[in-house]
Amino acid sequence: MKKDKTPDLKTGRNDPCFCGSGLKYKKCCLGKANIKPQSIKDLYFRKHQIRLKEPRDIEGIKKAGKIGLDLLNLIEEKLGPGMYTEEINKLSHEFLAKNGAKSASLHYKGFPKSVCVSVNEVICHGIPGKRIIKDGDIINVDITPILNGYYADVNKTFFIGTPGENAKKIVKVSKESMKAGIAMVRPNNTIGDIGWAIQTYAEGQGCSVVSDFVGHGVGFMFHEPPQVPHFGKKGEGVILVPGMVFTIEPMINLGKKDVRILDDKWTAVTADGSLSAQFEQTILVTEYGFESLTPFE
Ligand code: MF3
Ligand code: CO
Ligand code: CO
């Protein structure tokens, strides 16, 4: 029989109680007529600590996302060989300020810059600085703008000059991986379905999926529940319901998935030195499917 994936609003007698007590429902809120989950919103917060978003929240996240997208377009225009990665940080910091936004990355757990800039073998969390980008490089820029208290999270990988075959391949596979994950987003699918689709596609292309970093809920904070792994099994994990907002941001390596962290405590590189690429969007679960709050082709 196919597993029933309808959200269980009628908590079973032997299920953990929705109030989070850790007791069985029958030993806890069952029978206390005045304590009932009011709605899916209430249930998702109690059960999973997931805060579903209202239409006004979604508008707020979209506006933050638009600033991120506009900034990525500006960066793409300015990128070229000979540039320091720090120049991208400076441009970003100024652009965010000019638009009334802040960067969630700046000073996050000690991260010293306003954007992450990750070149070639750098998987993510590259710190902008004195590295000079050169013809043939691939470069990921990850931006998390905060506007009016709302957070969006978006990243893209760009080519510098003329890409080689390996660069073309990893950028294509990582973008298609993100799209394969997004295509799974609809009510009654699960978080595991997203990871399964990404892993199946990426490994089918002979690439590997980084498992040390995951997507995440976003909107009211930088990182909210749930975690969104880019690998996994169909049907596992939290059931998707309208109003959930989270990122899908697979990091895909041309070689093995293993990660090494540099002495700066942030920069994550491929252990085998192979190329790595990433694309990220902030995705809303809607009544019938999904809407990207940071859409790009
Ligand atoms: N924006 C990244 C993400 O997609 C995380 C950056 S962490 C930071 O989740 F500290 F480097 F900002
Ligand atoms: Co993210
Ligand atoms: Co990001």
Q: Is 159 left (phi over 0), alpha (psi -120 to 50) or beta?
A: beta
Span 29-53, average pLDDT:
81
Kindly state whether residue 92 falls inside one of the protein's structural domains: yes
Distance of CA 243 to the CA centre of its chain: 16
Measured from the Cβ of residue 132, the count of other Cβ atoms closer than 10 Å reads 13
The stretch 115-126 carries a mean pLDDT of 98
DSSP letter, residue 239: B
What is the CATH number for 130?
3.90.230.10
Beta carbon of 222 within 6 Å of any ligand 1 atom: no
Report the pLDDT value the prediction gives residue 223, as an integer from 0 to 100: 98
- In terms of residue numbers, what domain contains 244? 55-292
Residues sharing a CB contact under 8 Å with residue 262, sequence separation 6 or more, in sequence order:
268, 269
The count of C-alpha atoms lying within 13 angstroms of the C-alpha of 290, restricted to the half-sphere facing its C-beta, is 25
The verdict on 82 and 101 lying in the same domain is yes
* Residues 130, 156 contacting (CB under 8 angstroms): no
- Answer for the pair 9, 43: CB distance below 8 angstroms, yes or no: yes
Task: Report the percentage of the chain scoring pLDDT > 70.
Answer: 91
> 154 alpha carbon to ligand 3 midpoint, in Å?
5
Say if 280 falls within a structural domain: yes
- What does 73-142 look like in DSSP terms, one character per residue? HHHHHH--TT-BHHHHHHHHHHHHHHTT-EESSTTGGG--SSSEEEETTEEE-PPPSSPBP-TT-EEEEE
Clarify whether residues 261 and 126 are in a common domain. yes
Q: Quick one: 41 and 59 in the same domain? A: no
Average pLDDT of the segment spanning 129-154: 98
Average pLDDT over residues 208-221: 98
In a domain, 297, yes or no: no
| Residue 32 one-letter amino acid | K
Determine whether the shortest distance from the Cβ of 220 to ligand 1 is under 6 A.
no
Helix (H, G, I), strand (E, B) or coil at 12: coil
Q: How far apart are CA 25 and CA 13, in angstroms?
A: 5
How many beta carbons lie within 10 A of that of residue 96, not counting itself? 23
Q: Which two tokens stand for residue 204?
A: 């089918």
Query: For 151-176, what is the mean pLDDT?
Result: 98
Ligand in nearest proximity to the CA of 117: 1
Total Cβ atoms within 10 A of residue 134:
14
Dihedral of the CA atoms 268, 270, 271, 273 (nearest 10)? -130
How many domains does the chain divide into? 2
Residues 10 and 111 in one domain: no
Does residue 144 have its Cβ closer than 6 Å to ligand 1? yes
The verdict on residue 185 lying in a domain is yes
Centre of ligand 3 from the C-alpha of residue 11, in Å: 35
One domain, residues 200 and 67: yes
Choose one of 222, 247, 294 to mutate for the ligand 1 pocket test, by most ligand atoms within 8 angstroms of C-beta. Answer: 222
Average pLDDT over every residue of 267-292? 98
Indicate whether 248 pLDDT > 60: yes
Dist. CA 159–CA 137, nearest whole Å: 6
Six-digit token string for 228: 């969104």
Among 119, 185, 105, smallest CA distance to 152 is for: 105
Question: Does residue 232 have a pLDDT over 80?
Answer: yes
pLDDT in tens, 180-213: 999 999 999 999 999 999 999 999 999 999 999 9
Cβ atoms of residues 255 and 226 within 8 Å: no
Going from the Cα of 109 to the center of ligand 2, the distance in angstroms, rounded, reads 15
Mean pLDDT of the chain: 93
pLDDT, greater one: 95 or 32: 95
Nearest CA to ligand 1 atom 7: 105
Tell me how far apart the 2 most distant CA atoms of the chain are, in Å.
69
The mean pLDDT value for 42-55 works out to: 96
* Residue 33 CA, ligand 2 centroid: distance in Å: 41
Ligand 3 midpoint to CA 10 (Å): 36
- Whether 14 is covered by a domain: the verdict is yes
- Residues 265, 129 share a domain: yes
Question: 86 with 12, same domain?
Answer: no
The better pLDDT of the pair 221, 36 is held by 221
